[in-house]
Amino acid sequence: MPALTPEEKKNLGKFINPFERSKTKTIEKNLFDGEKHNDEFTDFIHDGIENNEPPQFVKITVDELTEKKILSGSSYAEKCFLWIIDDVSIKIIWEKTSNVRRYPKQYVCHTNITACGKAYIGGEMYFCEDGNIYVNFMSDRYGWPETDEHKRCAIEYIKKVGYKNVINIEDLIKNDL
């Protein structure tokens, strides 16, 4: 499966440090012990180039999509996978991967994938039993890109590496307005 091409990198927008898009947060102020390393999680960080299913793979049920309001924009850490696209490819980790160095939430965050390094974009994804993969851009560190075009390009890349039926949750929210 393919790594990012120069054209795709260009289309994904800026290659940013954590919180670089945030108006209120900075690395110095808001990144804490336990959020800057990834050496303990290398066995759990999945490179999307290799194949489709990340370690600790778990599917969300259709009932849970409704109960947890995932398609309205809620999160459900038990069934959530964090993703980022770095300079090479998409990297994915189950959000509830234990991280006892972090507090109050003792599980991983996006910077535990990158070891506080740069990425183009990131968010959450849910592999659903209905065959769809629901994706959002909810991450204070790498999410919420400036334009819809950047989001569209991220979704296109996720499809290109082999994931099928990828749906942007934000489109569902906006269609519901």
The residues of the shown chain that bind other proteins, judged by CB under 8 A, are 23-26, 28-30, 32-34, 40, 56, 69, 72-75, 96-101, 103-104, 106-107, 138-140, 143-144, 170, 173-174, 177
| Nearest residue (CB) to other proteins, 7 versus 23 | 23
Instruction: State the minimum distance, in angstroms, from the CB of residue 6 to other proteins.
Output: 28
| Nearest residue (CB) to other proteins, 81 versus 89 | 81
| Nearest residue (CB) to other proteins, 8 versus 171 | 171
| Nearest residue (CB) to other proteins, 7 versus 43 | 43
Integer Cα distance of 60 and 127 in angstroms = 6
Instruction: State the minimum distance, in angstroms, from the CB of residue 149 to other proteins.
Output: 14
Structure tokens at 21: 């898009």
Integer Cα distance of 102 and 32 in angstroms = 8
How many of the other CB atoms lie within 10 Å of CB of 69?
12
Instruction: State the minimum distance, in angstroms, from the CB of residue 164 to other proteins.
Output: 26
- Single-letter amino acid code for the residue at 132: N
Buried-exposed string 78-109: b where 16+ CB fall within 10 A, e elsewhere: ebbbbbbbbeebbbbbbbbbebeebeeeebbb
Instruction: State the minimum distance, in angstroms, from the CB of residue 59 to other proteins.
Output: 18
CB 137 within 8 A of CB 121: yes
